[in-house]
Chain A
C-alpha cells in the first residue's frame, strides 16, 4: 500500500488531462446518439450537437422492426465467435514454435518469413474470389473467416510475448515430462493472457468491422454481416438522374436519425467487448507474478 499524505500534483494533473482526452473521444459518439434521438426534420438541418432536439424514439422503433438489421447482427456475432476462436487458436499454435530458438527449431527462420511475407503482399480481389468460389465457400460464413484465418500481425506480437516467458519455467516443465503442447497450454498461455486477450480483441474488432468481403462473397444479401449491411445504409448516394420515387428514397436514406441509430446500435456490441476483456490485463499480471 502506497499511501501518500501530501497532495500528489502529478496524479491530479494526469487525471484531469486524461479525462479531457477521453471527453474529446466520446463526444462524436454522443453527437451520434443525440441525432438518433432527435426528430428527423431537425436532424436534417445539421444543428443537433450533443443533446437531442425534439426528442423522438421513432428511429429506434424503425430499426427494431427492421429484420435485416437484426439478422445481419446475428451473422456478425456468429462471425466473430468463429473467427475469433480460429484466429487465436492458429496464432498461438504458430507463435509458440516460432518463439523457439533456432537450435531448437531449425526451420524457424523459413516459417517466420513465410508468414511475414503474406502480411506485406496481398493477392488482390480477383484471385482470392476465385479461390473462395472454387472451394465452394460462397454464401457461407466460412468465406469471411478462412481467408483471414492466420492473423500474422497477432502471431508476431504473440511470439514476442512468448519469448519473454522465463526459460526456467518451460525447462522445468520439460523436466516433468511435459511435451510442447502441454507446456504451451499450462505455462505459456496462462502467463501470456494479457497478450492473448489483446490479439483476441484485435481479431474480434477486425471481424466486426470488415464489410467488403461480405458484399463480394455473399450472393444473397440475407447472408450479409452487419457492416456489409450498414454499407448499404450509410453510404451517400450520388445525385444523378432520379425519378421522383427514387428521390423520395433518397430523402429516406439521407435520414440522419435513422442512420445514426443504426450506427450506434451497430457499434454497441463490439464496444462492450472491451471492458469485458480488460480484466484479463490485470489477471494475467497476477498469475504471472505468482508463478514467477
Chain B
C-alpha cells in the first residue's frame, strides 16, 4: 500500500503539469496570433491581396461602383437555406455556392473575389458556428453576426466603424432603400454613435393582415368584416353554424398558437384591433418607450379572447400547439380566421386549398373596435448585421457589394430576369447566391401596384422585372398550375396588397420604436419576462387564471427586471432623437 502512494502522487503531479502546460501552450499560441490581428496586419493565411496597398481614399473620389484594379479577395461566411439547396442549385445547372452568376458579377464588375471560410445551414447552427469562429480568433473579413455579437465585437474593438464608408460609398439607391422605413433601420447598428454594421433594409416587414375563408362567409351569408365586432361575429358563426357542412361541431373561429405571436397564426393583428401592441416597444405618447404588453388595451383584448375560448371558438388545446401543429388544423379545414403576413397563402393556407379546392382565403386589412383605423404592428426583428473585421484593407468593399446587389436587381442597368428570379431557371430566387441581399420592404407592394396598373389598362406586355415574374406566376395558376395558388391571393385583383397599398400610402404602420442591440438587463432578464408574459396570457385566455391576473403580471413584470430594461431602452431612445 505505502509503496505506491508516492508514485500515484507523482503521476498526479505529472498530470497537473501536463494540464498546466497544455493550458500555457494554448495561451502562448494565442498571443502571437493576437498581435497579427492588429489593424495594420491581418492573419497570415489571409489571401487578401489588397493588404499592402494603401486604403482606397475614403475622401474625395469615392465611386460606389469603382472596380479594384488588383482583384481584391474577401473572405465571407455563408449560410445556406433549404431553398438554395433544394431549388436554386438544382435549377441552375453549373452553378454552386462557390461559383455562380453573382460571384462572377462581383468579380467582373467590382474586382472583388468572394471566398467562403465556411458554409453552414441557416439558423441556430450558423450562430453557434459564428461563436466558435469568434472565439478561435480567425475572423473572416466580412461576417454576418447577431446584434449581440455585433455589440460585443464593437466593444472589443474588433470591427471597423462603417460610418465614413457608408457616407462615401453607399449609392443613392441604397441610401434611399435604408431610409424607407425610417432612420432606425440604419441607426440600429450604431454602437456609441458609430455605424458598426449593415442589417436588412426590410427588417420591419410590410404589414399584418386579416385572412378569412371567404367561401364560409358566403355560405353563411355573412358580410365582409369592417370592424372587430364583425370579426367576433364571424368567429362565432364559424364555430356554431357548421360552415364545413359536415354536421359535426368541429370548426373553430380563430387560429392561434402557444407562442401567441408570429407572422402566421399570430395574435398581433387581433390585438391591434383594440389598439394594443404587445410584444414590442412603443411610444406612450409622451416621448417615452413602454413595453406594449403591459398596457391596459392588452387586458381588454385578452378579455375578448378568453370569452372566445369559453365559447369554444378557439382550439381548446392551442396552449400546447406550435405553428406546425396549428397549420395541420388549417389544412384539415377546421379554422376560418388567421391573422398574419401577406405570405400566409404560400404557407400554411395553401395546404387547406390542396385538400379542399373550395377553400377560398381572402386577405383583408386589420379592423378595430372603434372605427379608428387599426395600425399594422411592425416589430423590429433585426437578427443579423454584416460587419467588417478590424484591419481589413478595404471595408468599403462591403458597401460596394450592397450597391451592386441593388443595382443589378432593381437599378437602371440591372437585369432582374437574370439576377433575381430568372424565368429561364423556373423563377427560383437566384439572388440568394449573393452573400449580401439588401431588399426594399415595399418592393412587393410596388410590384403589386405595377400589376394593378397593367390590369386596369390591360397592358401586361409592358410589365418588367419583379412584377413580370409575379404576373407569370399568377398566369400559371389561371392556366391550371394549382401550386401557384398563393400568388393571386397576394397580387391578384382581390389580392391582399390592395390593402397593403392603403397601409403604405396612409402610413398605417405602428413601427416598434426600440431598434438597438439588446441592453444589459434585457440580455439577462428578457427570457424570464417572456416566459412570465406568455404563461400569464395563455392562462388568462384559457380561463385557467382570472383576467385580473393581468394587473399582477404588470407589477411582476416591472419588479423582475422590467423597470431596469425600460430605463435602458429609454436611454437608448434618447440618444436617437
Contact = CB atoms under 8 A, between A and B. Distances in A.
Chain A contact residues (Cβ within 8 angstroms of B): what range?
Answer: 35 or more
Contacts of B327: 44, 254
A257 to B, nearest CB: 12
A247 B117 contact: no
Contact of B125 (A215, A220, A249, A254): A215
B354 interface: yes
A240 B381 contact: yes
Interface in A97-121: 106-107, 109-110, 114
B136 A220 contact: no
Contact of A220 (B7, B86, B118, B348): B118
B262 A239 contact: yes
Contact of A221 (B120, B132, B205): B120
B328 interface: yes
Given A46-B328, A110-B12, A239 B81 contact: no
Contacts of A244: 342-343, 346, 444, 486-487, 490
Given A219-B119, A254-B327, A236 B322 contact: yes
Q: Kindly name the residue among A68, A125, A240 whose own CB sees the greatest number of chain B CB atoms within 10 A.
A: A240
Contact of A240 (B11, B80, B263): B263
Interface in A232-285: 232-233, 235-254
Contacts of A216: 125, 128-129, 132
Nearest to A42: B355
Contacts of B3: 106
Contacts of B262: 238-240
A220 B122 CA distance: 13
B128 A219 contact: no
Contacts of A233: 82
A231 interface: yes
B4 interface: yes
Given A239-B265, A241-B341, A242-B341, A249 B332 contact: no
Contacts of B342: 244
Interface in B126-153: 128-129, 131-132, 135-136
B121 A41 contact: no
A247 B343 contact: yes
Interface in B49-82: 80-82
Contacts of B490: 244
Given A215-B120, A245-B429, A251-B346, A45 B332 contact: yes
B218 interface: no
Interface string A6-40: 00000000000000000000000000000000001
Contacts of A220: 118-119
A126 interface: yes
B332 A251 contact: no
Contacts of A46: 325, 328-329, 331-332
Given A44-B354, A106-B4, A216-B132, A231 B121 contact: yes
Contacts of B11: 107, 110
A235 B123 contact: yes
B262 to A, nearest CB: 4
B467 to A, nearest CB: 13
Interface string A161-192: 00000000000000000000000000000000
B81 A249 contact: yes
Contacts of A232: 82, 85, 121-122, 125
Given A107-B8, A215-B125, A248 B119 contact: no
A250 B340 CA distance: 15
Contact of B123 (A41, A237, A245): A237
Given A46-B332, A130-B136, A251-B351, A125 B128 contact: yes
Given A219-B117, A221-B120, A249 B328 contact: no
Contact of A110 (B8, B118, B202): B8
Contacts of B87: 249
- Dominant secondary structure of chain B at its interface with chain A: helix
B350 A251 contact: yes
Given A42-B355, A106-B4, A130 B343 contact: no
B15 interface: yes
Contacts of A66: 86
Chain B contact residues (Cβ within 8 angstroms of A): what range?
Answer: 35 or more
B15 A114 contact: yes
Given A110-B11, A215-B121, A221-B80, A241 B348 contact: no
Contacts of B515: none
A130 B125 contact: no
Contacts of A42: 355
A109 B343 contact: no
Contacts of A238: 262, 323
A134 B29 contact: yes
B573 to A, nearest CB: 23
Contact of A236 (B83, B119, B323, B381): B323
Contact of B351 (A41, A109, A219, A239): A41
A246 B83 contact: yes
B344 interface: yes
B498 to A, nearest CB: 16
B26 interface: yes
Contacts of A245: 83, 421, 429
A103 to B, nearest CB: 10
Contact of A41 (B266, B325, B355): B355
Q: Kindly name the residue among A40, A215, A247 whose own CB sees the greatest number of chain B CB atoms within 10 A.
A: A247
B303 to A, nearest CB: 26
Nearest to A54: B355
25 contacts: A41-B331, A45-B333, A46-B325, A46-B328, A46-B331, A125-B132, A126-B131, A133-B136, A215-B120, A216-B125, A219-B119, A220-B119, A235-B123, A239-B262, A239-B266, A243-B343, A244-B346, A244-B487, A245-B429, A246-B83, A246-B343, A247-B347, A250-B347, A251-B351, A252-B82
Interface of A: 40-42, 44-47, 66, 68, 106-107, 109-110, 114, 125-126, 129-130, 133-134, 215-216, 219-221, 231-233, 235-254
Query: What are the nearest 5 A-B pairs in CB distance?
Result: A247-B346, A46-B328, A219-B118, A247-B343, A45-B332
Given A45-B332, A236-B324, 6 more contacts: A46-B329, A66-B86, A109-B8, A239-B264, A246-B81, A251-B347
